[in-house]
């Protein structure tokens, strides 16, 4: 009290300052700025090309400025951030780059818009990518870039890729005995998402499936038990080295890139890196789809999709941006910049992609045609977590394959049941 | 007269003390108590961020009964307790030996202490990565060393075996935290009056007798403090296991904080994950209380 009378100047100055600050804040932070926000991978070559394309889109549509919001490149971290934003009903970002396994989760939560109102033209997209982005009959995200599991094989040691797993094992044994390689087939066998992708490819090759068409759990079928038993036997026989049980993508790539392994199961990114100058196997490898064994050859589907935030204030503009980014011209340009596979099959027929992709476009196309989505369900991550545990236990001899799959199936049913999703996919 | 004048002063001082404590108490309430109460409250709900259509319903102790019947949780709890008992016991013995040696050193004391502390100074994730590299596969240094000691045994994938995966985890933890244990015990050793030891020696006590009847009893408070720190730390172990094995193979090295993390932040089951966290907190807190009890009679005896 007393001090305010004796030192007025000292107090009025901060008061004025506060008032001004408040006024500035009311003007600046009051209504949200009218911008369209895109969020996704913005690192390195990917970031450069997406920024260039978005700037071009903004000059074509001068009404609304477009902002690029960086998100973590790690899938888990980005997922967590998205869930925080969307769960809090934030109207931004407007356009979200999604991993293929997130679409049903966000769709079921009501966090992203069904796109049917914009009458999207889905004819020129790989069917598997459209199927993966549908939830309860409606399309929730547009496929953008495709990732597929591929079999890398050594062209200097083999005359062609194996069509069956038995052929693959024969090649491995003869090359191992000749000493040309020290390892046969390497894949991602650590307990993480990659293991489920590998299992899905073996499973389909043996004629099995994780969920059936009605969304019911089918992973304890005899076909599935045969597939998992075969995987475990491959390790016991030395066709697949035991070390893979702790390996993720990069360790398997090193094994193949250094010339140690005869076969590698990996995503397309590995091809770009193994084409570089210092790679031992440079121009001594090719890609094919994984072999089969009674079922059909399959490639686990990954990749990027674009979706619209359900609370977006600029849904129409957001859709225009998605249409623009997924248009053939932009996809071709992007393929040349990053080597990523476009989601439109028509582009592979023309010569436009000839030297854009790290592998011949024909080979890429043949593999993508065999792509299958992982189970399309909002609780995929939880299902995958349980599967990872039991698959890994079976591969490390802690559970018999039939036992492991029976236990996993029980857990999967419990998760679907808790979520109220048992058999409610359609 | 003096008494009458002192009492109001005392009251005033007490009041002042509380007043001065207020910011600290407020900070504690906001930073420690608030989140704790919020977590306990959340643990009474069925709340799955992934399944918003199920809503957030009050289920009382439902999450706790689920945890009690959750085999994976019980297994993780057993792993954590086993890990804590094993590593803390080894660290106590090695740390005591190390502290006695450092205490007996006449020259290069400072240098020796710095060198001993190096592993402790390394960030856990970095240490874990180094140990992971050493045990990564059949061609890793650890496997080659074993092959040299026991010929023909190099074909062991340490991290892929349900039992063998514990070896690098325990080794890394002991390697990293024994120095910390040693330093705490060294501080205790240096607080012991040397003349007691000298007197016992004059009376003809052997080195072992002096250690058992003089050093060890007087070191007890330091040992208890070191045990509190290490036990609580070991119970919360996360980063080391996360980097070395990720809880695998299967779930054979999964510890309780990892399982809580998976439930809470990966599966986004907020209610259940909170309940798991509360259980871990209660276990750690009661252990700390037990240790503090152990400390008290010592203080009174003095």
In this structure, is residue B131 part of a structural domain? no
Which pLDDT value is given to residue B213? Answer: 87
Contacts of A399 in chain B (CB under 8 A): 250
- Alpha-carbon distance B120 to B126, whole Å? 11
Mean pLDDT for the stretch of residues B11-18: 88
Residue B144 pLDDT more than 60?
Answer: yes
Count the neighbouring beta carbons within 10 Å of the beta carbon of residue A355: 11
H-run or E-run covering B190: helix B166-190
**Banded model confidence at residue A212, pLDDT cuts 50, 70, 90:** very high
Domains of chain A: 36-147+301-371 (3.40.190.10), 150-187+250-284 (no CATH), 191-239+379-426 (3.40.190.10)
Q: Is the predicted ipTM greater than 0.90, yes or no?
A: no
Of the listed ranges A26-30, A64-68, A188-192, B132-136, the one predicted with least confidence: A26-30
Q: What is the mean pLDDT of residues A296-315?
A: 94
Tokens of residue B51, six digits: 């399944």
- pLDDT-derived band at A63 (thresholds 50, 70, 90) equals confident
Q: Please report which confidence band the pLDDT of residue A296 belongs to, taking 50, 70 and 90 as the band edges.
A: very high
Please indicate whether, in this complex, the C-beta atoms of A109 and B265 are within 8 angstroms of each other: no
| CA count, 13 A, side-chain hemisphere, B198 | 4
Q: Kindly report the CATH number assigned to the domain that includes residue B208.
A: 1.10.3720.10
Answer whether A105's CB lies under 8 Å from A380's CB: yes
Q: What are phi and psi of B72, to 5 degrees?
A: -65, -35
Sign of the torsion formed by the C-alpha atoms of A342, A343, A344 and A348: positive
Rounded (5°) CA angle A206-A410-B80: 110
Asked if A108 is an interface residue toward chain B (Cβ–Cβ < 8 A), one would say: yes
Indicate the range of A248-252, A271-275, B129-133, B150-154 predicted with least confidence: B150-154
pLDDT bin (cut points 50, 70, 90) of residue B294 is: confident
User: What range defines the domain where residue B238 resides?
Assistant: 71-123+157-301
Give the residue among A321, A271, A330, A326 at the shortest CA–CA distance from A304.
A326
Nearest-CA distance from A364 to chain B in Å?
32
Cβ contact (<8 Å) for A192 and B246? yes
Within a 13 Å sphere around the CA of B4, how many CA atoms are in the beta-carbon half? 1
Listed in sequence order, the residues at least 6 apart from B81 whose beta carbon sits closer than 8 Å to its beta carbon are none
Closest-CA residue of B relative to A108 is B51
- pLDDT digit string (tens) for A83-138? 889 988 899 899 999 999 999 999 999 999 999 999 899 899 999 999 999 999 99
Query: Is pLDDT above 90 for A221?
Result: yes
Instruction: Determine whether the interchain pair A191/B157 forms a contact, defined as Cβ–Cβ distance below 8 Å.
Output: no
- Residue A15 binned pLDDT confidence (cut-offs 50, 70, 90): low
Arithmetic mean of pLDDT, A56-75: 88
C-alpha distances (whole Å) from B287 to each of A205, A374, B78, B227 are 53, 45, 16, 10
pLDDT at A339 over 80: yes
Does the structure show a pLDDT above 80 at A311?
A: yes
Q: What is the pLDDT of residue A426?
A: 39
A54 sits in which H/E element: helix A44-60
Say if residues A341 and A128 touch (Cβ distance below 8 Å): no
DSSP character at residue A373: P
| Residues in chain B within 8 Å Cβ distance of A390 | 250
pLDDT at residue B228 tops 90: no
Q: Which residue of A has its CA nearest to B244?
A: A246
Q: Is B133 domain-assigned?
A: no
The pLDDT score that the predictor gives to residue B6 is 58
A288, A418, A341: which is closest to B48 by C-alpha?
A: A418
Both structure tokens of B27: 């900070």
pLDDT confidence bin for A11, thresholds 50/70/90: very low
B4 pLDDT higher than 70? no
What is the arithmetic mean of pLDDT over B105-134?
86
Give the pLDDT confidence score for residue A321 in this predicted structure.
94
Taking 3-state DSSP, the helix, strand and coil percentages for chain B, each rounded to the nearest 5, stand at 75, 5, 20
pLDDT of A9 > 60? The answer is: no
A333 CB within 8 Å of a chain B CB: no
Q: Are B61 and B40 in contact, with CB atoms under 8 Å apart?
A: no
Report the pLDDT value the prediction gives residue A157, as an integer from 0 to 100.
94
Tell me, yes or no, whether B45 lies in a domain. no
Choose between A343 and A11: higher pLDDT.
A343
Q: Categorize the per-residue pLDDT at B138 as very low, low, confident or very high, splitting at 50, 70 and 90.
A: low
Of B229, B201, B196, B187, nearest to B215 by C-alpha is: B196
Percent of chain A with pLDDT over 70: 91
Residue B42: inside a domain, yes or no? no
CB A304 within 8 A of CB A148: no
* Closest C-alpha among A202, A215, A201 to residue A375: A215
Residue-averaged pLDDT of chain A:
88
Taking the Cβ of residue A174 and every Cβ of chain B, the question of whether any pair is shorter than 8 Å is answered with no
**Number of neighbouring beta carbons within 10 Å of residue A170:** 13
Alpha-carbon span A98 to A82, nearest angstrom: 9
Contact between residue B168 and residue B130 where contact means Cβ atoms under 8 Å apart: no
In the predicted model, is pLDDT for residue A21 greater than 80? Answer: no
Give the residue-averaged pLDDT of A279-290. 92
Contacts of A15 (CB under 8 A, 6+ apart): none
Calpha distance B240→B246 (Å, rounded): 9
Query: How many other CB atoms are there within 10 angstroms of residue B264's CB atom?
Result: 21
Stated length of chain B: 302
- Regarding predicted confidence, which is higher, B153 or A139? A139
| CB contacts, 8 Å: B162 with chain A | 396, 398
pLDDT tens-place string over residues A183-205? 999 999 999 899 999 999 999 99
The yes-or-no verdict on residue A327 having pLDDT over 70 is yes
Beta-carbon separation of B248 and A246 below 8 A? yes
Tell whether B82 is covered by a domain.
yes
B250 min Cα distance to partner chain A (Å):
5
In the predicted structure, residue A371 carries a pLDDT above the cut 90: yes
In this complex, do B248 and A190 lie within 8 Å of one another by their Cβ atoms? yes
Nearest Cβ partner for A246 among B53, B157, B265: B157
Pull the structure tokens for residue B220.
Answer: 């007890």
Decide if A80 touches B, using CB distance below 8 A: yes
Sort out which chain A residues have CB atoms less than 8 A from B136's CB and list them: 243, 246, 251
Torsion of CA A384, A387, A393, A397, to 10 degrees: -130
Q: What is the pLDDT of residue A356?
A: 87
Question: How many Å apart are CA A48 and CA A43, to the nearest integer?
Answer: 7
Contact present, A262 and A285 (Cβ < 8 Å)? no
Tell me the average pLDDT of chain B.
86
pLDDT at B263 exceeding the cut of 50: yes
User: Is residue B2 pLDDT above 70, yes or no?
Assistant: no
pLDDT at position A30: 45
Report yes or no: A249 and A114 within 8 Å, Cβ to Cβ. no
pLDDT tens digit string along B25-47? 999 888 888 999 999 999 999 98
Is the preceding omega at residue B249 within 30 degrees of 0, hence cis?
A: yes
Residue of B157, B248, B267 with shortest CB distance to A392:
B248
Q: With a cut of 90, say whether residue A177 has pLDDT above it.
A: yes
pLDDT recorded at residue A350: 75
Contact of A311 with chain B, judged by CB distance below 8 Å, is answered with no
Residue A46 CB partners (closer than 8 Å, separation 6+): A338, A340
- Rounded Cα–Cα distance for residues A22 and A226 (Å): 69
The total of structural domains in chain B comes to: 1
Query: Quick check: B157 and A243 CB within 8 A?
Result: yes
Is A239's pLDDT higher than 60? Answer: yes
pLDDT digits (tens, 9 = 90+) for B75-90: 999 999 999 999 999 9
Phi–psi pair at B180, nearest 5 degrees: -65, -45
Q: Provide the pLDDT confidence category of residue B3 given band limits of 50, 70 and 90.
A: low
Whether residue B22 is contained in a domain is answered as: no
Within a domain: residue B257?
Answer: yes
A8 vs B134, which has greater pLDDT?
A: B134
Query: Per-residue confidence at A10, pLDDT binned at 50, 70, 90?
Result: very low
Looking at the complex, does the CB of residue A232 fall below 8 Å from at least one CB of chain B?
A: no
Determine the pLDDT at residue B203.
87
Mean pLDDT across the stretch A285-291?
95
pLDDT at A69 over 50: yes
pLDDT in tens, B169-221: 999 999 999 999 999 999 999 888 888 888 888 888 888 888 888 888 889 88
Q: What is the pLDDT of residues B234-260, one digit of tens each?
A: 998 999 999 998 887 989 999 999 999
Q: Where are the alpha helices (DSSP H) in B105-149?
A: 109-121, 124-135, 141-149
B12 pLDDT exceeds 50? yes
| Residue B205 falls inside a structural domain | yes
Residue B245 with chain A: CB contacts under 8 Å: 246
Chain A residues lying within 8 Å of B265, measured CB to CB: 80
């Amino acid at each position: 009290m007393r001090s305010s009378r004796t030192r007025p100047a000292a107090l009025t100055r901060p008061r004025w300052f506060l008032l001004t600050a408040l006024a500035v804040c009311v003007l600046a932070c009051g209504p949200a700025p009218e911008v369209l926000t895109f969020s996704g991978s913005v690192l390195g070559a990917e970031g450069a090309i997406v920024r260039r394309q978005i700037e071009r889109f903004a000059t074509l549509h001068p009404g609304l400025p477009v902002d690029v919001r960086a998100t973590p490149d790690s899938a888990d971290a980005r997922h967590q951030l998205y869930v925080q934003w969307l769960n809090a009903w934030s109207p931004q970002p407007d356009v979200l780059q999604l991993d293929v396994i997130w679409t049903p989760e966000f769709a079921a939560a009501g966090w992203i818009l069904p796109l049917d109102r914009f009458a999207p033209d889905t004819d020129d997209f790989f069917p598997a990518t459209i199927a993966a982005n549908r939830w309860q009959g409606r399309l929730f995200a547009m496929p953008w870039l495709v990732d597929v599991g591929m079999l890398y094989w050594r062209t200097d040691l083999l005359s062609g890729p194996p069509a069956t797993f038995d052929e693959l094992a024969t090649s491995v044994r003869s090359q191992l005995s000749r000493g040309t390689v020290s390892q046969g087939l390497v894949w991602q066998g650590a307990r993480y998402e990659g293991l489920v992708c590998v299992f899905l490819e073996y499973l389909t090759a043996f004629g099995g499936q994780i969920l059936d068409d009605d969304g019911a759990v089918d992973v304890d079928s005899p076909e599935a038990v045969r597939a998992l038993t075969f995987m475990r036997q491959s390790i016991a026989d030395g066709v697949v080295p035991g070390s893979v049980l702790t390996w993720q993508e990069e360790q398997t790539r090193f094994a193949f890139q250094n010339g140690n392994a005869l076969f590698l199961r990996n995503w397309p990114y590995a091809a770009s890196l193994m084409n570089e100058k210092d790679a031992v196997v440079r121009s001594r490898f090719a890609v094919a789809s994984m072999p089969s064994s009674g079922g059909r050859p399959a490639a686990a589907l990954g990749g990027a999709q674009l979706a619209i935030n359900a609370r977006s204030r600029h849904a129409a503009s957001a859709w225009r941006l998605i249409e623009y980014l997924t248009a053939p011209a932009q996809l071709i340009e992007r393929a040349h910049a990053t080597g990523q596979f476009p989601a439109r099959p028509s582009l592979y027929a023309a010569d436009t992609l000839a030297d854009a992709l790290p592998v011949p476009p024909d080979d890429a196309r043949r593999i993508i045609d065999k792509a299958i989505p992982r189970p399309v369900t909002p609780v995929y991550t939880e299902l995958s977590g349980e599967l990872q545990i039991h698959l890994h236990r079976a591969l490390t001899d802690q559970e018999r394959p039939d036992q492991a799959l029976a236990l996993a199936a029980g857990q999967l049913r419990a998760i679907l049941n808790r979520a109220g999703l048992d058999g409610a996919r359609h | 007269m003096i008494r009458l004048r002192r009492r109001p002063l005392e009251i005033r001082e007490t009041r002042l003390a509380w007043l001065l404590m207020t910011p600290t108490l407020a900070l504690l309430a906001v930073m420690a108590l608030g989140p704790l109460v919020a977590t306990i409250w959340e643990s009474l709900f069925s709340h799955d961020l992934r399944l918003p259509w199920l809503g957030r319903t009050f289920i009382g102790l439902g999450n706790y009964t689920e945890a009690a019947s959750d085999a994976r949780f019980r297994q993780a709890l057993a792993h954590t307790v086993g890990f804590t008992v094993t590593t803390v016991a080894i660290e106590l013995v090695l740390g005591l030996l190390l502290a006695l040696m450092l205490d007996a050193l006449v020259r290069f004391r400072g240098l020796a202490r710095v060198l001993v502390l190096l592993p402790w100074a390394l960030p856990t994730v970095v240490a874990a990565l180094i140990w992971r590299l050493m045990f990564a596969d059949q061609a890793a240094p650890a496997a080659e060393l074993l092959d040299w000691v026991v010929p023909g045994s190099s074909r062991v994938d340490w991290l892929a075996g349900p039992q063998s995966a514990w070896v690098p985890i325990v080794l890394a933890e002991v390697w990293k935290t024994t120095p910390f244990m040693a330093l705490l015990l060294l501080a205790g050793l240096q607080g012991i009056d040397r003349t007691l030891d000298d007197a016992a020696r004059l009376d003809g006590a052997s080195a072992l007798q002096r250690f058992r009847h003089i050093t060890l009893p007087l070191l007890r408070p330091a040992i208890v403090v070191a045990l509190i720190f290490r036990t609580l730390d070991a119970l919360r172990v996360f980063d080391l296991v996360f980097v070395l094995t990720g809880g695998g193979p299967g779930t054979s090295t999964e510890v309780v904080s990892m399982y809580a993390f998976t439930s809470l932040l990966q599966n986004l089951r907020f209610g259940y994950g909170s309940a798991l966290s509360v259980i871990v907190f209660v276990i750690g807190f009661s252990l700390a209380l037990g240790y503090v009890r152990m400390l008290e009679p010592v203080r009174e005896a003095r």
